[in-house]
């Protein structure tokens, strides 16, 4: 897949950050993003049937997905955030599963795969692998649906090595410093990347800082 030597290390450091941040993740969430606006954007996305949510975090979007799903599997690689999501969402239609998407192969198929604020955390060299896994998780005619940061978020990010790998600095309340992968796309750029991987995608900006989109595997039309 053309994996860069440090790619797995970046992902391990990113996961360590989210595990450490779990207990404070929700503290200022509604100050960091426009939750009502994004809730409305989510309501307009094509989500139905059996749904898989990747990188559910502490479960901010999980109840909204559950309300539209026949059944929902909510997953995350960090057990700490997954436990918070379990406490937040007590819906019999929802089951929780610990998944590191880069070390996982789906055993079930879904009508919709959703992830919120995750795609920008995927290293560029991992995009082919990631989208191949998504293809294996979808039923015929299924959709991948996503919501994420747009390119304007670059204004508030602190690159660890300008011109180097796409890593940004993250600080916790106790002063501990971590890092995360952050790859910001223009809507047309992301649609083009997905097209090269065999997907037909629609991507649009919600406001000046956030985008949404969905993609279908082109091979389903054959």
Q: Going edge to edge, which strands form the sheet with 138-149?
A: 94-98, 71-76, 50-54, 110-116, 138-149, 210-217, 199-205
For residue 93, what are its two tokens? 């239609």
Q: What is the reported pLDDT for 216?
A: 98
* Rg of the Cα atoms in the chain: 17
Whether 207 and 216 have beta carbons less than 8 Å apart is answered as no
Note the pLDDT of residue 163.
81
Contact 203, 144 (CB under 8 A): no
111: tokens are 């009508």
The reported pLDDT for the residue numbered 1 is 38
Instruction: Tell me the pLDDT of the chain (222 aa) as tens digits.
Output: 344 456 899 999 999 999 999 999 999 898 899 999 999 999 999 999 999 999 999 999 999 999 999 999 999 999 999 999 999 999 999 999 999 999 999 999 999 999 999 999 999 999 999 999 999 999 999 999 999 999 999 999 999 988 888 999 999 999 999 999 999 999 999 999 999 999 999 999 999 999 999 999 998 865
Give SS3 for 151.
helix
pTM of the model: 0.94
Question: Whose structure tokens read 């604020």?
Answer: 117
Task: Give the closest residue to 158 by CA, choosing from 146, 168, 143, 149.
Answer: 168
Cα–Cα distance, 195 to 84 (Å, whole number): 36
Pull the structure tokens for residue 19: 């595990």
């Amino acid at each position: 897949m053309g994996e860069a030597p440090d790619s797995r290390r970046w992902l391990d450091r990113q996961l360590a950050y989210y595990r450490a941040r779990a207990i404070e993740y929700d503290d200022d969430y509604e100050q960091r993003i426009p939750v009502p606006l994004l809730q409305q954007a989510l309501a307009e996305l094509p989500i139905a049937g059996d749904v898989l949510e990747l990188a559910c975090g502490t479960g901010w979007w999980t109840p909204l997905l559950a309300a539209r799903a026949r059944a929902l599997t909510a997953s995350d690689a960090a057990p700490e955030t997954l436990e918070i999501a379990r406490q937040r969402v007590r819906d019999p239609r929802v089951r929780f599963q610990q998944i590191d998407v880069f070390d996982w192969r789906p055993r079930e198929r879904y009508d919709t795969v959703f992830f919120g604020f995750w795609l920008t955390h995927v290293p560029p060299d991992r995009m082919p692998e990631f989208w191949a896994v998504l293809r294996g998780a979808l039923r015929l005619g299924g959709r991948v649906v996503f919501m994420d940061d747009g390119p304007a978020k670059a204004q508030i990010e602190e690159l660890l090595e300008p011109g180097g790998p796409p890593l940004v600095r993250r600080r916790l309340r106790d002063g501990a410093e971590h890092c995360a992968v952050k790859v910001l796309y223009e809507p047309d750029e992301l649609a083009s990347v997905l097209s090269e991987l065999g997907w037909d995608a629609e991507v649009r900006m919600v406001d000046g800082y956030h985008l949404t989109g969905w993609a279908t595997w082109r091979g389903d039309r054959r």
